[in-house]
Amino acid sequence: NLSGFIFDKMQIKSGKFAGMLRWTESAWCTVYGDDTGRAVISTLFYMMYTKDMRKMTQVEAALDFLIGITGTDGLMEHGVHVSELTDENIKQMHSNPSNQYCAHRNAYNRAALLLAYQLNHKEIYKDTAVKGLSTIMGVYPETMRAISETEELCRLIFPLSCLYQVTRDETHKKWLYDVCERLENYRHK
C-alpha cells in the first residue's frame, strides 16, 4: 500500500519532471534525493525478494529523474524545488559538480541506484552511484554534516555495503570497514 501511494500519488507522471517523487503531501514542489532513495529502496527489496517487477518502470523513472539532476561528481543538491528546475538549471546541475559531500543528502539515493542496478543492469546506475560514493569517500572523514557525525557515518554503512556487494572491490570494502570502525568509537558503554 505504501509503495502504491508513493508511485501512484506522489510521483509526477509526465513532462519535464516525469519520475520526480514529491517530498510529502504538503511539499508537492520539492524533491529530496535521500527521501526518494529510501522510498525506492523498500520497493527494490520487495522486487528482489518476490520477483514481482511491476513497479520497476516507476522506480526507474524516479532514479532517472535523480540522475538527470545529479552533478558531475555523482552527487545531488540538497533539496530541489520545481521552480528552480528550468532547462538551464537542469543543464547546470548535470554539467557541474554539486559539491554536496554529504551522506545525509546523497547516500540513500546512491544505494537505491546500486540495488536497481542489481535488478536491471543499467550501467549508468552503477556508474553514478560509484562516482557519488567515491566523491564522498574522497573527502571522508571531512564530509559535510547535516545533523551530526554519527548520523553521517550511519547513513554511509548501508550504501557502502551495497557498493561492495556490486563491485567486490577491496577498496570499497575498506571504506565500509573504516566507517564502521569510526562509528564504533562513539559507542557508549
The pLDDT tens digits for 28-60 are 788 889 999 999 999 999 999 999 999 999 999
Task: Say if residues 88 and 76 touch (Cβ distance below 8 Å).
Answer: no
What's the pLDDT at 181? Answer: 97
Residue in the block written with cell 513532462: 15
What's the pLDDT at 84? Answer: 84
**What is the separation, in whole angstroms, between the first and last Cα of the chain?**
40
Percent of the chain with pLDDT over 90: 76
What's the pLDDT at 162? Answer: 98
Q: What is the pTM of this model?
A: 0.95
pLDDT in tens, 92-150: 999 999 999 999 999 999 999 999 999 999 999 999 999 999 999 999 999 988 888 99
Mean per-residue pLDDT of the chain: 93
Count the helix, strand and coil residues of the chain and give each as a percent rounded to the nearest 5. 65, 5, 30
What single DSSP character describes residue 69? T
Phi-psi region of 121 (alpha: psi -120 to 50; beta: other; left: phi over 0): left
CA-to-CA dists, residue 150 to 103, 140, 184, 188, angstroms: 11, 13, 10, 12
Task: Say if residues 98 and 142 touch (Cβ distance below 8 Å).
Answer: no
pLDDT category, 27, cuts 50, 70, 90? confident
What's the pLDDT at 52? Answer: 96
Those residues whose C-beta lies under 8 Å from the C-beta of residue 37, and which sit 6 or more positions away, are 66, 107, 108, 109, 110, 111, 112
Rounded CA-CA distance 70/98 in Å is 7
pLDDT at residue 26 tops 80: no
